Structure 1
Amino acid sequence: MLNDYYDNHPFKVTYPAISRYKHRLEPFYQNLAEEFRASLAVKKNTVAMLYSIARDFFYHLQQLSVTDLAAINQEILYDFLMMEYKDHQGCMNNVTYVLRLICEHFRSKGFHNFPLELMPFSLPPSRSKILPSFERKDMEYILAQPDISTPTGKRDYAILMLASFTGIRAVDIANIKLEDINWREMTIHFVQHKTGFGLSLPLVPNAAAAVADYILNARPEVDSPYIFLTEIAPYRRLSDKSSVANVLNKYIKISGIEKKRHDGKSFHAFRRSMGIWLLDTVSSPEMISQILGHQSKDVLKRYLPLSPSKLSICALGFDGIQVESEVYR
Structure 2
Amino acid sequence: MDYLTLNFINYLANDKELSKNTIECYNRDVNQFENYLKQKDINNLRDVNKTVIITYLLHIQNTGKSNSTISRNLASLRTFYQYLLNNGIIKNDPTLDLKSPKQEKKLPGILSTDEVAHLLDQPNIKTPKGIRDKAMLELLYASGIRVSELIALNVSDVNLKLGFITCSKNTSKARVIPIGKLSITALNTYLTKHRNYFLNNKDEDSLFLNHYGNRLSRQGFWKIVKFYAQKAEINKKITPQTLRHSFAVHLLQNGADLKSIQEMLGHSDISTTQVYTQLNNVRIKEIYQKAHPRA
User: Which residues of structure 1 form unaligned runs of 5+?
Assistant: 1-22, 39-44, 313-327
1:158 Cα deviation (Å)?
A: 0.4
1:155 Cα deviation (Å)?
A: 0.6
Q: 1:283 to 1:94 in 2, by over 3 A?
A: farther
Counterparts of 1:1-329 in structure 2, within 5 Å, are 28-30=7-9, 59=31, 70-74=46-50, 76-78=52-54, 81=57, 89=66, 90-97=68-75, 99=77, 111-112=91-92, 114=94, 116-118=96-98, 123=101, 126-183=103-160, 185-192=162-169, 198-219=174-195, 220=197, 221-223=199-201, 224-230=204-210, 232=211, 234-241=212-219, 243-255=220-232, 257-259=233-235, 263-308=236-281
Aligned-partner Cα distance in 2 for 1:309–1:228: 35
Instruction: Figure out how many residues of one structure are paired with residues of the other and give that number.
Output: 274
Q: CA RMSD in A?
A: 4.5
Aligned-partner Cα distance in 1 for 2:139–2:240: 12
1:80 Cα deviation (Å)?
A: 5.3
Aligned-partner Cα distance in 2 for 1:25–1:100: 15
1:291 Cα deviation (Å)?
A: 0.7
Aligned-partner Cα distance in 2 for 1:48–1:217: 48
Q: Percent identity?
A: 19
Aligned-partner Cα distance in 1 for 2:3–2:153: 45
**Would you tell me which structure has more helix in proportion to its own residues?**
2
Aligned-partner Cα distance in 2 for 1:182–1:24: 65
SS of residue in 2 equivalent to 1:189: strand
Aligned-partner Cα distance in 2 for 1:28–1:67: 17
Aligned-partner Cα distance in 2 for 1:185–1:49: 50
SS of residue in 1 equivalent to 2:167: strand
User: Which residues of structure 2 form unaligned runs of 5+?
Assistant: 286-293
Aligned to 1:325: none
Q: 1:185 to 1:106 in 2, by over 3 A?
A: farther
Note the alpha carbon deviations across 1:216-251, whole angstroms, 9 max, x for none: 211123223322222x4x33332224x223333333
Aligned to 1:20: none
1:165 Cα deviation (Å)?
A: 0.8
